[in-house]
Amino acid sequence: MTRFAANSKLALQAQTVEFAVAPLRQEWCPKKSRMIAPCTSSRLKVRDKFSDILCKTATRRLGLRPEDMAPSGQLTSEQRFPMFAPYQLGERFDMLDNFTAHYAKVLDGAYDCVDRIVLNAYFPLGQSPGGFRMWWRRLYGSDKNLDNAHLMRMAGRLSRRVRAYAQVHQIPLVDCGRGERKHKIAEPYIPQDPVRLGVFLILVGRAPAVVWNVERSKNGTLINIARKTPLPYVNHYSFHIIDPQWGHIIIKLCGHPPFGAQIILNGHEYVACQARKEGIGFTKDANCFTHVVSAAGLARVAETMRAPSSVGRLVRVCERWIYSACLCFALDLEEQQRSGFHYSYSVFQAEYSRNLLFGRGHTMDQIFHGLIERCRAPLHIKTLKTVFGYKPRPKYNKRGKGPRFQVVVERPVYDLTIFKVHFGKLTLKIYSKGERVLRIEAIADNTAQLRCGKRIEKFPRITQELKSILDRFLGVLHSVDVSFIDLGTLDRWPLPTKVGSSRVGGLDVNRPRVRAVMEAVVALSPNPRGLTASDLKAKVIEILKAPDTHYSSRQASYDLKRLRGKNLVCKVPGTHRYETVPEGLQAIAAFLALMDKAIKPLLAAASQPNSTSTIEPQSPIDVHYRAIHAHMRSLFQIIGIAA
């Protein structure tokens, strides 16, 4: 018996053949770009027509459904969520950011992909006391039995059904303890059979969730319905499912009404499934493509994740499983229909990655670690973690047979260096994957920080915001990594300028305050939302490290105005925030690098002409410093400087 059959059998709870049609839920409207409820007359017509089709095409075996019908009886995906016009690709490999273009000669390809996606599924009527009471009346006809005891009984019924179903159908059910990594627990259970679909594992763990507390008087009168505070820890059931289009997905269902849920998806799994259908050869290691026959073809498939049509695909995969494979243990299809229970969706977390496929792993190592050395100090990177593998990357790529349609599961054999920058709930991260893939990620741990909406309809906008953050971060890295300054710039900085109608002073780089401001601007440049005068003030005080330093917000505002006059920063329109200009950031980074790594070390070494050291140089930069020092001493003797 198939998974659909088993789930449907439990949900219908019937001994005879019965064709239950679930209530039509909200539909995606392309014109209004939001979910709308269809009108009553059209719903009746569609339901009648759909019932006729179902009765003609459904098999007479209990629980089996036609392939073009969702497991819980909804309309087919083509009827419910029509596809938008084909997404126009706006970028090619040679049109990516400056950082990628700078290293294009050593790359085999590059692709952008939406990575981890976490959706919140919630029942809108169950989010308020009045709405929850109304739903209970729809479910049972009245609210006489609405009390804490019946709420607990409903949670207990769900638990008993889940455990009984897992035992009958031999699905592993694991009770997880506190702090256990559930994705690690699930890895050994992932089926290798590509034909197998449906639930293959259920994990039970405790997490905080909304639980209603019902107060009644001694004579049974309903007094109050309120959320329990603080949120109690209750059982959550994580259903691990293999979907034909999305691969491994997870639906985490709360065991208490109103049965909130989270759906965890992975964009790389979706791209892999679609690449197989299009015949694009690849080798995949976990959630990363390590080798691709056609990088352009894979990038084209991955771009569809940012298309407006991705909203319909996300809703379809949720509704394909959440009602028939998860919620059916708490409410069967008849109860769902009678009470009007249907989920709405919002985007809770999202990750967007840019993956650079290098021709040689050794080249990637050199570039990545050189980038870390050059950018860590200017950007004030405090989080840098290295997980050591047991062998170095090969200097030459192993060329063998063509890639197969497979997922390579192996222990990490190469050094893994993680380069992180945190800004509240937003994180920017660079790390190596496999032998020769460098991944740059923009992560929104809570999409509310993007300030573009959280509803599922905003998913294309969310991915676009993450892409913009990623592009800006790579632009900052490129400016710091490949910095440049000409002699004319140093001559122009001390001169006064005008910002609008105001005359402002120049930048005297000999003053510690000006150098601290420049260093602070570079350190704050990766911030996705830009920097403010308060941010600059705090960072300058931190850099100067003087307890008696008096640097006010007014001084920070004036310094930002001076930087604007030199076209080093620009103001974000309509805000009090500032962003660095790429050319200006390159000039500032180059000046600071020359001061800290060239002029100061050489002058310090020249002031001690007789000092000798028997310690061998530990890095190539030490060798260069010693050679330059020797030449500088000769130059000082010629021009008459004591050395």
- The answer, yes or no, to whether residue 44 has pLDDT greater than 90, is no
Handedness of CA 114, 116, 122, 124 (dihedral sign): negative
Which of 419 and 318 is assigned the larger pLDDT?
318
**pLDDT tier at 51 (50, 70, 90 boundaries)?**
very low
**Rounded (10°) CA dihedral 186, 166, 119, 289:** 30
- The answer, yes or no, to whether residue 95 has pLDDT greater than 70, is no
Report pLDDT for 610: 54
- What tens digit of pLDDT does each residue of 205-223 get? 999 999 999 999 988 899 9
Give the residue-averaged pLDDT of 497-518: 90
**Listed range (258-262, 386-390, 432-436) with the worst mean pLDDT:** 386-390
**Listed range (129-138, 275-284, 391-400) with the worst mean pLDDT:** 391-400
- The answer, yes or no, to whether residue 463 has pLDDT greater than 80, is yes
Q: Helices (H), strands (E): how many in the chain? A: 20, 22
Give the residue-averaged pLDDT of 480-489: 84
Q: What is the mean pLDDT of the chain?
A: 78
Give the residue-averaged pLDDT of 471-492: 87
Name beta bridge partners: 406: 283
- The answer, yes or no, to whether residue 461 has pLDDT greater than 90, is yes
Question: Can you tell me whether residue 585 is helix, strand or coil?
Answer: helix
**CB–CB of 512/545 below 8 Å?**
no
**CA terminus-to-terminus distance, the chain:** 88
Report pLDDT for 615: 53
Which of 629 and 485 is assigned the larger pLDDT?
485
Q: Which two tokens stand for residue 222?
A: 């309903």
**Listed range (430-444, 451-465, 585-599, 614-628) with the worst mean pLDDT:** 614-628
Report pLDDT for 184: 87
**Listed range (96-105, 117-126, 389-398) with the worst mean pLDDT:** 389-398
Report pLDDT for 166: 95
**pLDDT tier at 414 (50, 70, 90 boundaries)?**
low
**Listed range (59-63, 170-174, 441-445, 453-457) with the worst mean pLDDT:** 59-63
Q: Which two tokens stand for residue 66?
A: 């036609």
Phi/psi class of residue 187: alpha, beta or left (left: φ > 0; alpha: ψ in -120 to 50)?
alpha
Domain residue spans of the chain: 93-109+356-481, 114-350, 487-594, 607-639
| pTM, entire model | 0.76
**pLDDT tier at 464 (50, 70, 90 boundaries)?**
very high
pLDDT above 70 covers a percentage of the chain that reads 74
**607 exposure class (CB count in 10 Å sphere: 0-12, 13-18, 19+):** exposed
The architecture CATH gives domain 487-594: Orthogonal Bundle (1.10)
Report pLDDT for 626: 72
- The answer, yes or no, to whether residue 69 has pLDDT greater than 50, is no
Report pLDDT for 168: 94
- The answer, yes or no, to whether residue 88 has pLDDT greater than 90, is no
- The answer, yes or no, to whether residue 287 has pLDDT greater than 50, is yes
- What tens digit of pLDDT does each residue of 151-198 get? 999 999 999 999 999 999 999 999 998 888 888 899 899 888 877 889
**pLDDT tier at 636 (50, 70, 90 boundaries)?**
low
Report pLDDT for 216: 92
Report pLDDT for 399: 45
**CB–CB of 260/235 below 8 Å?**
no
**Listed range (336-345, 353-362, 391-400) with the worst mean pLDDT:** 391-400
Which of 382 and 255 is assigned the larger pLDDT?
255
- The answer, yes or no, to whether residue 335 has pLDDT greater than 70, is yes
Report pLDDT for 68: 38
**pLDDT tier at 348 (50, 70, 90 boundaries)?**
very high
**CB–CB of 82/312 below 8 Å?**
yes
DSSP H or E segment with residue 254? strand 247-254
Report pLDDT for 8: 40
Report pLDDT for 639: 59
Report pLDDT for 393: 53
Give the residue-averaged pLDDT of 536-552: 83
- The answer, yes or no, to whether residue 10 has pLDDT greater than 70, is no
- The answer, yes or no, to whether residue 521 has pLDDT greater than 50, is yes
Tell me whether strands 569-571 and 578-580 are parallel, antiparallel or unpaired: antiparallel
Report pLDDT for 638: 67
